[in-house]
Each structure stands twice: as structure tokens, then as C-alpha cells.
């Protein structure tokens, strides 16, 4: 009681004298610091050692220092293992283009044209384009993304092709399933790594390649094709991609596609011992295959059907209804893309000229462009021409200018109708 009374008297006396009170926006004191100010000097020395850790960690100190003060005895974090660590993957250097792998050359042209050339690099070969010749020996050893000049002075962007670019440029027999539709079908079927997928209609092998990447090394794709020429072409394109992929990447493309030359409607015996996570049908009469493949599809699995005409979709749904097949039509979609043109207008030789040009106008004679689209208060004329952005030239000087933004005249047209069928368990009769 005596100690409490003494502390109360010191608090009242310190409040009554002319000391400045602490403002609300100033740094607040800890309980130990408040107690230290209330105690006499001889008793405050006893708690001095408890206030030192608080004073050493100032409000401006980093969070790591505060954590070290609060828990000095904590064990250090174990260093990550070198095998599969993110640091090791990020430190991987880009691989130069090698002989035997695929290379894609881009040549930007006027009138919204980008010429893409796909070639397999060989030491003695030459890349022949509309912009001139470029020996393969000048490409081999270069890093992807390099700009190289041809014999005629044209600039080519050299890089490795992506999978969607390869399927659009590879040799084809029948019409391929386009990448925009394949992406939607993969989402429809909800394909995961390790799944087993049935494909009917190998075609040129485009869908087989995307399915191979989706299921991964632990998955499997079984592709049926009735025509011998399509069957051989699909296998050739698939093997060509795998062979060239291995030369430019550290890991191999999975060998997980089995191409079968057989009519799917006559493969009932083959289906008895199989269970599929998903099925995709890319054929003229998919209704003839549904009765054969549906027993092998897992309950709740999805069958995606790729059809060109809406009348084919109606025939498919009518067959499902009349034959009472255990499929429910969940969705019928048509995938379309709307291409946009966004071109920065450029002022060439700003000190002597007041003409604003789009990047396509730079590549062609300005006298050929007579259609004036926009006229500013400074009498600067903007000629709008449709075309992709050309590769920059270091010798040219450009200034800030407006942009041209509008939908492109060339749009992706209709390619197919995608029908999503879900298998269900029929009720017991």
C-alpha cells in the first residue's frame, strides 16, 4: 500500500508541475517504459534491463531485426535443396538455336501481313523468303528473339515456334482443329495431367499434340483414324515435333500418344478393357461412335464433339434422344476472336517535317496514301493504314504521336461448333 500511495503522489505531482503532456500522435510508450517513469530513480534502475530490448528495436528498424530481437533463440531456416529449387530454375540460361530443331522466321510486311516461315535448321541450307536469302549457318548459334538481315536487307525475327504456330504451319491433309477451338475443348473436358483421353479422328495430328501436352508424361492419348493417309500424316507431324523439341529444350516431349488405324465404330472389343477420363470426337458422323465409346467413359465424364455445321449438331442430339444414350448436352458454343488494330502513328524527321505516319505508311510510298483520316489544329495529317508494327530501325527518329485503334478488317471466321456432352447414370427402371 505504501508503494502504491507513493507512485500515485509522484504521478499527481508530475501532472501538476509544468511538464508537457504527450500528444496522441507521438510514439506510445511500452508498459515497462511507463512504469520506469513513475518509479523513483533507484527503483527504475532495477527495470532498466527489461526496457533495453524495446529501445534497441526502434520503430524504424526493419522487420527482420524486430523478429530477431523478439525471438533470438529461434532456429535458422533450413536452406532449400538445390534439386528442383526455384533459384536453380530461374538461373537457367536460354538455349541457342541448334541444328536439327525448328525455327520460325517472321517478316513484317505492309497491309496487315506478317509472313511466318517455319524451317528445320541445317548447316548447309538457306532460308528463302520474299525479303531475301538467309543462310541457316547465320541462324544456328543465335539466341531466340534476334533480328537478322537477309541478303536483300530485310529484317527477320528468328525464334522457336510455339505449339499453336507449329500446328498452323505444319503439313496437313484434312482441315485441322484450330488452336482457339482446341483450348475451349480442353477446358470443356477438364483434362488433367495423368488422364487417359480417347480421340476419334487423328486428322493431321493437331489435337493429338495438344492432348499430349495436357495429359503429361503420366497420361495417355489413344487416337483412332479410319484413313491411312491421315493416320500416317498425324504420326509424322507428332514425331517431327517431338524430335525437334528435344534439341532445343532440357526436357523431352512425352511419348504418350498411341495412333490406331481403325474405324472407331468397329472397335467395341477394344473399348471393353479401357476406361477414359474424357473423349473427343472430330469426325463427320460422331453419332455412330457414341454407342461404342460411351460404356468406356467414366461416370460424369465429358465427351466433346467438334462439328462444322449446326445441322450436324442437330443430327447428333437427335441420335442421342432416339437411342436414349446416357448423355446430357450441357453446352453448344462457337469460338470467335475479334482482332484489333492498334498502331502508333510516328513523326519522321520532326525538325523538318510535320507529317504524322502510321507504321505501315513508313514502309510504303506516302504519295500512295491519299485518304486523310484525322487533321489536327497544327495541320498534321494522320494517314491510317492497317498493318502490324514493323521492326524498329535505330537510325530513324520518332516523336510522340496519336495512336490508331479500331477493329481489324480481317477477322477470324467460323471454324466449328463445340458440343459438350456429359455422361450420367440412367435411373433404374
User: Of the candidates 156, 134, 136, which has an alpha carbon nearest to the alpha carbon of residue 145?
Assistant: 156
* pLDDT beyond 90 at 404: no
In the chain the first and final C-alpha atoms are separated, in Å, by 89
Residue 49: band (very low, low, confident or very high) from pLDDT cuts 50, 70, 90: low
pLDDT of residue 373: 32
0.85 cut: is pTM over it?
no
Q: pLDDT tens, 23-48?
A: 544 555 666 566 566 666 766 665 55
Average of per-residue pLDDT across 168-182: 91
pLDDT of residue 294: 92
Q: In the 8-state DSSP scheme, what is residue 420?
A: E
Q: What are phi and psi of 67, to 5 degrees?
A: -65, -35
Residue 367: band (very low, low, confident or very high) from pLDDT cuts 50, 70, 90: very low
Q: Which domains does the chain have, with CATH numbers?
A: 102-161 (3.10.330.20), 166-336+417-423 (3.40.50.150), 342-389+396-407 (no CATH)
Average of per-residue pLDDT across 219-237: 96
Inter-residue long-range contacts of 310-317, CB under 8 Å, 24+ positions, other chains counted: 310/417, 312/284, 312/417, 313/417, 313/419, 315/287, 316/286, 316/287, 316/290, 316/419, 317/419
pLDDT of residue 371: 35
More confident residue, 55 or 151: 151
Entry field: residues in the chain: 429
* pLDDT beyond 60 at 198: yes
* pLDDT beyond 60 at 112: no
For the record, the C-alpha cell of 147 comes out as: 533480328
Q: pLDDT tens, 133-166?
A: 999 999 999 999 999 999 998 899 999 999 999 9
Q: pLDDT tens, 296-342?
A: 999 999 999 999 999 999 999 999 999 999 999 999 999 988 888 88
Mean pLDDT of the chain: 77
Residue 425: band (very low, low, confident or very high) from pLDDT cuts 50, 70, 90: confident
Amino acid at each position: 500500500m505504501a508503494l502504491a500511495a507513493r507512485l500515485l503522489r509522484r504521478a499527481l505531482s508530475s501532472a501538476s508541475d509544468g511538464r508537457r503532456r504527450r500528444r496522441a500522435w507521438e510514439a506510445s510508450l511500452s508498459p515497462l517504459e511507463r512504469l520506469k517513469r513513475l518509479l523513483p530513480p533507484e527503483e527504475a534502475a532495477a527495470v532498466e534491463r527489461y526496457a533495453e530490448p524495446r529501445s534497441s528495436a526502434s520503430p524504424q528498424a526493419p522487420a527482420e531485426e524486430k523478429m530477431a530481437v523478439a525471438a533470438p533463440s529461434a532456429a535458422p531456416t533450413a536452406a532449400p535443396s538445390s534439386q528442383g529449387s526455384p533459384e536453380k530454375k530461374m538461373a537457367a540460361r536460354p538455349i541457342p538455336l541448334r541444328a536439327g530443331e525448328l525455327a520460325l522466321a517472321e517478316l513484317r510486311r505492309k497491309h496487315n501481313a506478317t509472313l511466318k516461315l517455319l524451317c528445320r535448321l541445317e548447316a548447309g541450307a538457306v532460308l528463302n523468303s520474299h525479303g531475301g536469302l538467309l543462310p541457316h549457318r547465320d541462324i544456328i548459334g543465335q539466341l531466340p528473339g534476334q533480328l537478322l538481315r537477309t541478303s536483300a536487307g530485310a529484317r527477320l525475327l528468328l525464334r522457336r515456334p510455339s505449339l499453336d504456330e507449329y500446328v498452323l504451319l505444319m503439313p496437313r491433309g484434312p482441315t485441322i482443329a484450330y488452336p482457339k477451338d482446341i483450348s475451349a475443348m480442353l477446358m470443356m473436358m477438364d483434362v488433367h495431367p495423368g488422364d487417359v483421353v480417347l480421340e476419334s479422328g487423328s486428322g493431321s495430328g493437331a489435337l493429338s499434340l495438344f492432348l499430349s501436352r495436357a495429359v503429361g508424361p503420366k497420361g495417355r492419348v489413344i487416337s483412332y483414324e479410319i484413313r491411312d493417309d491421315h493416320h500416317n500424316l498425324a504420326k509424322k507431324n507428332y514425331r517431327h515435333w517431338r524430335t525437334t523439341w528435344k534439341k532445343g529444350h532440357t526436357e523431352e516431349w512425352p511419348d504418350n500418344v498411341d495412333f490406331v488405324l481403325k474405324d472407331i465404330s468397329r472397335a467395341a472389343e477394344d473399348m471393353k478393357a479401357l476406361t477414359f477420363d474424357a473423349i473427343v470426337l472430330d469426325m463427320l458422323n460422331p453419332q455412330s461412335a457414341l454407342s461404342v465409346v460411351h460404356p468406356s467413359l467414366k461416370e460424369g465424364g465429358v465427351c466433346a464433339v467438334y462439328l462444322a455445321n449446326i445441322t450436324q449438331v442437330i443430327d447428333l442430339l437427335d441420335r442421342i434422344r432416339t437411342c436414349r444414350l446416357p448423355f446430357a448436352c450441357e453446352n453448344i458454343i462457337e469460338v470467335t476472336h475479334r482482332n484489333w488494330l492498334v498502331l502508333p502513328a510516328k513523326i519522321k524527321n520532326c525538325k523538318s517535317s510535320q507529317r504524322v505516319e502510321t507504321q505501315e505508311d513508313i514502309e510504303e510510298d506516302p504519295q500512295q496514301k491519299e485518304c486523310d483520316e484525322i487533321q489536327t489544329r497544327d495541320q498534321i495529317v494522320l494517314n491510317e493504314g492497317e498493318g502490324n508494327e514493323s521492326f524498329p530501325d535505330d537510325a530513324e527518329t520518332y516523336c510522340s504521336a496519336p495512336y490508331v485503334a479500331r477493329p481489324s478488317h480481317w477477322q477470324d471466321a467460323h471454324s466449328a461448333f463445340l458440343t459438350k456432352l456429359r455422361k450420367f447414370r440412367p435411373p433404374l427402371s
